[in-house]
Amino acid sequence: MKKIGIGFIGFGTVGQGVWKNLEPQREELENRLGVKIAFPRIAVRDIGRSRDVDVPAQIMTEDPYEVINDPAVDIVCELMGGTGKAREYTEAALKAGKVVVTANKALIYACGQQLFDLVKKHGGHYYFEASVAGAIPIIKTLREGLVANRFASIAGIINGTCNYILSRMEAERKSYETILADAKALGYVEQDDSLDLDGKDAFHKAVILAFLAHGKWIDEDHALVEGIRNVTLEDMDLAKNFGYRIKLIGLIRRNFKTNALSLSVSPSLVPLDKTLARVDGVYNAIKLSGDVAGTTILIGRGAGRDATSSAVISDIVDAIIGIRDDAHKFFTAADIDANYHMGENLRMATVDEIKSPFYIRVTVADQVGVLADIYRDLAELNISIAKVATYEHRETGTGTVTLLTYPTSESTMEKLFSRFEKIKNILGRPLLLRVYESVRG
Amino acid sequence: MKKIGIGFIGFGTVGQGVWKNLEPQREELENRLGVKIAFPRIAVRDIGRSRDVDVPAQIMTEDPYEVINDPAVDIVCELMGGTGKAREYTEAALKAGKVVVTANKALIYACGQQLFDLVKKHGGHYYFEASVAGAIPIIKTLREGLVANRFASIAGIINGTCNYILSRMEAERKSYETILADAKALGYVEQDDSLDLDGKDAFHKAVILAFLAHGKWIDEDHALVEGIRNVTLEDMDLAKNFGYRIKLIGLIRRNFKTNALSLSVSPSLVPLDKTLARVDGVYNAIKLSGDVAGTTILIGRGAGRDATSSAVISDIVDAIIGIRDDAHKFFTAADIDANYHMGENLRMATVDEIKSPFYIRVTVADQVGVLADIYRDLAELNISIAKVATYEHRETGTGTVTLLTYPTSESTMEKLFSRFEKIKNILGRPLLLRVYESVRG
């Protein structure tokens, strides 16, 4: 019976969650998989720190290379996060032909291509189910469960922190700043808060999904990435009047006729009757529009110790089976090559091609003629208006104009916003949000 | 490079769907998986019949054994359905050590244990992702993606036909009989309509999920199985007044303290704000309550040619990988044994242990004292009432009394209904529905 060793680099919240949930079912897994499972080595920054789980002291080390180079370690769980040292250790482990399991989406975004090249060259393996959407088995679903499908659209709520903040703002009728402060106090926001609040974390995850579904690594220059900092409670109310809720949506669209791909992360208006509109709190949801299966939606916890460790353990089991059989199911060299092959004839959609309805919120000085100026610009750019609502604020002598457009291109909206800059009675920069539309059929 | 042959027994809607969707991506799959894929043989009842897809005439046969015994066929797709001949052919294929892929939930319910025994004995393999919830990769999710979890509750809308009928009744405000006739005309109802309408098909699927999650085959004597025949549009309206929608819910619950398992399929009141309440038409949805991942919900098309073939193709790919590596990842002999092992200390919950809130609809003759009779019986059985609504129908001299109880046992409700039989002003048999409650936490 093969003996398979699992090592850890980084043993914080997630690492301890994996230990807590894996160790009690080790024997059951051994029976099921027909292998012996061992935990030979765990690398941490500070051995002295107290932990929530009991781990034998003799397997702890402060040197990650003792994990990587231990011949008893077959699977290296990189759970330290970040793109600095984590990259060094991941590369070293892959160069040693080991199987690496990770939740590190930032690292995959930063150097996924190089990591896959190392897998191909050295025969190791890289598993990263936990990197996207926590407990939702989205990578397995995309690659295995729905393998028969090509995806015209993948849309998701894939940052739990933003969804938590937006949900609480609405439920408690409190400002972004108030809820954000609370979320930070509760430890729900990444140290570098821009990862969550500016949509970068959701972007990293969307890039991983786009690579898996379409075979292309997309960088920031070829995507629209916006966070939730400018969304106000007022926008949520206005959106609701129009029949929508505001969610941070990661959206990957592929037009199979033109072979154009687009990727965006942006606070978006989702129709109230859609499932995505009703996913609240730290939950994530991903809606896949496949050409064979039709629409499939997966909902689950997006983050947190247990949700993430559920996904890590799923990868560990797949990794064990791959080592047991001396044959990993997916992300073999041939599989990686085939994945890139999908993206070969693909191009990024232009701003003329990317269309959606838009929500525009303009603050104006309460002066004669300002509405006429706005409507003239809209008319001259051929932008059709679906809905309008205006509100006056007597105390400040200002007004709010909100508009919902019919589908319009990103480039047209850019032109509109340049024109708006010249209207002197428009106060500040108007807010522009996209309206999420399902792929039809 | 290994050459892997896929044969079909039965080539109706689903079989042709698999062909239509698999054949165009054969080359891509070959590259990805590093194998050659062939379709050596297809068995049909009548070669002469015209079909929607072009298949080489020379591979068609009317003798299923030409598929089973063809040495070029590694994977036998049993897509004929039913439990008669399909059983014979499946057993023959498994005895020949072949890999069988199927969507046949009725067959798995009828003899899953025997089929798994054949897998263990002869080294073949049995894949059945398509047997439950169409395009939703529920079996893969349960067994692989959420492998870290034990499930206190699995609740699902797993019969698309019933969900379609209930959804249309409500949307179009038409009777069960009217919509059923239409659904039959559209070919949405199984030939043996009892499979759909009496909850049997949903029961078969729930039994498969219960076996995978808990290691026990459950038969009809140990489950509550009710269909939708007695649900009226009036009940839907009354339920909505109470804050619920009526859905046919398959429910598998396990109490980890008492090791008691229960399984039911019944039209159930689902709170309006729950995701399951909003899944309409032919869509299926399954809500998994795992001890590590928390709540995960999967939504997708439950039936139809393409949805089912998406799942069959996913199994075919897994089967190809298993043959390629000469090692199947799951449902190996050890895995099957481990699965049974889970169920060893498990018992079925008694009717005293199975509790839920109930919805009761009683039709009464409009006579003095009938409400007093009903309330006396409820009080004497210690049944607490959460909500009551009564309606009088002057033209007929009758009234409708609807009640929502607090959680009560099945055995207490049985007693109540025996007592109701003795109240002469109760007309006909009252309707009893369960209220679906999420597992807390």
Instruction: Collapse the DSSP code of B7 into the 3-class scheme (helix H, G, I; strand E, B; otherwise coil) and give the result.
Output: strand
Mutation target to probe the B interface, by most B beta carbons within 10 A, among A32, A138, A313 is A32
**pLDDT at A179 exceeding the cut of 70:** yes
ipTM of the complex: 0.95
Count residue pairs from A and B with Cβ separation < 8 A: 184
Partners of A140 on chain B (C-beta within 8 Å) are 137, 140-141, 144-145
Give residue A439's pLDDT: 61
Q: Element (H or E) spanning A319, and its range?
A: helix A305-324
Q: Which residue of A has its CA nearest to B328?
A: A325
- Is residue B38 domain-resident? yes
pLDDT tens digits, A112-164: 999 999 999 999 999 999 999 999 999 999 999 999 999 999 999 999 999 99
Contacts of A278 in chain B (CB under 8 A): 275, 278
What whole-number distance in Å separates Cα of residue B391 and Cα of residue B201?
A: 35
Q: Express each pLDDT in A71-104 by its tens digit.
A: 999 999 999 999 999 999 999 999 999 999 999 9
From the list B140, B147, B292, which residue is nearest A144 (CB)? B140
pLDDT tens column, A290-299? 999 999 999 9
Question: Where are any strands of DSSP class E within B169-210?
Answer: none
Report the gap between the CA of B246 and the closest CA in chain A (Å): 18
Tell the burial category of A12 from Cβ atoms under 10 Å away from its Cβ (0-12, 13-18, 19+): middle
Most A CBs within 10 A among B25, B28, B29, B32, hence the mutation to make, goes to B32
Other Cβ atoms less than 10 A from the Cβ of B325: the count is 18
- Pairing mode, strands B151-157 and B283-290: antiparallel
Min Cα separation B425/chain A (Å): 43
Q: Where are the alpha helices (DSSP H) in B34-84?
A: 64-68
CB contact under 8 A, B34 and A332: yes
In this complex, which of A134, A297, A335 lies closest to B32 when CB atoms are compared? A335
User: Is B338's CB within 8 Å of A31's CB?
Assistant: yes
B11 and B22 in a single domain? The answer is yes
Q: B12 in a domain, yes or no?
A: yes
Put simply, the answer to whether B140 touches A135 (Cβ < 8 Å) is no
Predicted local distance difference test score (pLDDT) of residue B439: 61
Closest chain B residue to the Cα of A337, Cα to Cα: B32
Q: Is the pLDDT of residue A367 over 90?
A: no
CB contact under 8 Å between B317 and A147, yes or no, is: yes
B367 has a pLDDT exceeding 60: yes
What is the mean pLDDT of the segment spanning B354-369? 94
Q: Do A312 and A427 reside in the same domain of the chain?
A: no
Nearest CA in chain A to B26: A148
| Alpha-carbon distance values, A350 to A212, A263, A265 (Å) | 22, 11, 16
Q: What is the mean pLDDT of residues B243-249?
A: 97
Q: Is A342 in Cβ contact with B28 (below 8 Å)?
A: yes
Contact B299 A297 (CB under 8 A): yes
| Candidate from B135, B296, B314 with C-beta closest to A294 | B135
User: Strand B3-9 relative to strand B36-43: parallel, antiparallel, unpaired?
Assistant: parallel
Q: Which of these, A191, A183, A221, lies nearest to A82 by C-alpha position?
A: A191
Give the mean pLDDT of chain A: 96
Q: List CB contacts (< 8 A) between A441 and chain B.
A: none
Do B234 and B371 lie in one domain? The reply is no
Q: How many domains does chain B have?
A: 3
- Identify whether residues B233 and B369 lie together within a single domain: no
> Is the model's pLDDT at A440 over the cut of 80?
no
Same domain membership, residue A142 and residue A129: no
Categorize the per-residue pLDDT at B438 as very low, low, confident or very high, splitting at 50, 70 and 90: confident
Report, in angstroms and rounded to the nearest whole number, the Rg of chain B calculated over CA atoms: 24
Instruction: Please state, in angstroms and rounded to a whole number, the distance separating the CA atoms of residues B362 and B401.
Output: 5
Chain A interface mutation, best of B296, B312, B320, B341, highest count of A Cβ atoms under 10 Å: B296
Same domain for B268 and B166 = yes
Structural domain contains residue B440? no
Q: Confidence class of residue B441 from pLDDT cuts 50, 70 and 90? A: very low
- CATH at residue A174: 3.30.360.10
Residues of B in contact with A326 (CB under 8 A): 325
Q: A315 to chain B: which residues are within 8 Å by CB?
A: none
Q: Of B148, B337, B338, which has the smallest distance from its Cβ to A21's Cβ?
A: B148
pLDDT at B440 over 90: no
Q: What is the pLDDT of residue B366?
A: 87
Cβ neighbours of B134 in A, within 8 Å = 293
Q: How far apart are CA A103 and CA A83, in angstroms?
A: 12
Q: B23 to chain A: nearest residue by CA? A: A148
Which residues of B fall within a CB distance of 8 Å from A327?
324-325, 327
Determine the Cα–Cα distance for residues B237 and B141; give it in Å rounded to an integer.
35
- Residue B83: give its domain's CATH number: 3.40.50.720
Q: Which domain holds residue A412?
A: 355-435
Chain B residues close to A317, C-beta within 8 Å: 144, 147
Q: Cβ separation of B135 and A313 shorter than 8 Å?
A: no
Nearest in space to A339 (alpha carbons), one of A101, A119, A88: A119
Distance of residue A385 Cα from the nearest chain B Cα, in angstroms: 30
Residues B125 and B272 in one domain: no
Q: Is the residue at A350 inside a domain?
A: no
Across the interface, whether the CB atoms of B301 and A292 are under 8 A apart is answered no
| Residue A429, phi-psi category: left (phi > 0), alpha (psi -120 to 50), beta (remainder) | beta
Residues 6+ apart with CB under 8 A from A186: none
| DSSP bridge pairs for A267 | A248
Task: For tokens 């769980």, name the residue.
Answer: A77
Helix (H) or strand (E) holding A400: strand A398-405
Nearest CA in chain B to A287: B299
Domain match, B129 and B34 both:
yes
Does residue B404 fall inside a structural domain? Answer: yes
CATH number, domain containing residue A388: 3.30.70.260
Smallest Cα–Cα separation from B315: which of B131, B106, B90?
B131
Q: Are strands A99-102 and A125-127 parallel, antiparallel or unpaired?
A: parallel
Residue whose token pair is 């991941």: A90
B377 domain residue, yes or no: yes
Chain B residues touching residue A306 (CB < 8 angstroms): 292-294
Q: Which member of B205, B247, B274, B287 is catalytic?
A: B205
CA distance, residue A178 to nearest chain B CA (Å): 27
CA separation for the pair B285, B273 (Å, rounded): 15
Cβ–Cβ gap A310/B146 under 8 Å: yes
**Whether A297 and B292 lie within 8 Å, measured CB to CB:** no
Which of A98, A105, A200, A205 does the annotation list as catalytic? Answer: A205
Report residue B404 as tokens: 């929502």
**Residues A210, A216, A219, A223: is their CA dihedral positive or negative?**
negative
Sequence-distant (≥ 6) Cβ neighbours of residue A35 within 8 angstroms: A1, A2, A3, A4, A320, A323, A324
pLDDT digits (tens, 9 = 90+) for B131-156: 999 999 999 999 999 999 999 999 99
As given in the structure block, the two tokens for residue B238 are 């009354």
Residue A348 domain flag = no
| Same structural domain, B149 and B45 | no
Q: What is the pLDDT of residues A318-350, one digit of tens each?
A: 999 999 999 998 899 999 999 999 999 999 999
CA distance B411 to B306: 43
* B257 noted as active-site residue: no
Separation CA A154–CA B197 (nearest Å): 34
pLDDT in tens, A6-39: 999 999 999 999 999 999 999 999 999 999 999 9
Domain presence at residue B347: no
For residue B18, give the chain A residue with the closest CA: A148
d(CA A75, CA A67): 9
Same domain flag for A151 and A81: no
Task: Give the span between the Cα atoms of B101 and B314, in whole angstroms.
Answer: 10
Average pLDDT for residues A275-295, to the nearest whole number? Answer: 97
Task: Examine the domain organization and report whether B164 and B283 are in the same domain.
Answer: yes
pLDDT of residue A330: 87
B211/B110 Cα distance (integer angstroms): 13
User: Taking CB atoms and an 8 Å limit, are B309 and A292 in contact across chains?
Assistant: yes
CA distance A126 to A140: 13
- Cβ distance B301 to A295 less than 8 Å, yes or no, reads yes
CB atoms within 10 A of CB A46: 7
Record: contact A335-B33, CB cut-off 8 A = yes
Min Cα distance B116 → chain A (Å) is 15
Residue-level pLDDT at B343? 95
Residues of A whose CB is below 8 A from B318:
144, 329
Claim to verify: residue B313 and residue B372 sit in the same structural domain: no
Using the 8-state DSSP alphabet, how is residue B143 labeled? I
Closest-CA distance, A144 to chain B, in angstroms, reads 6
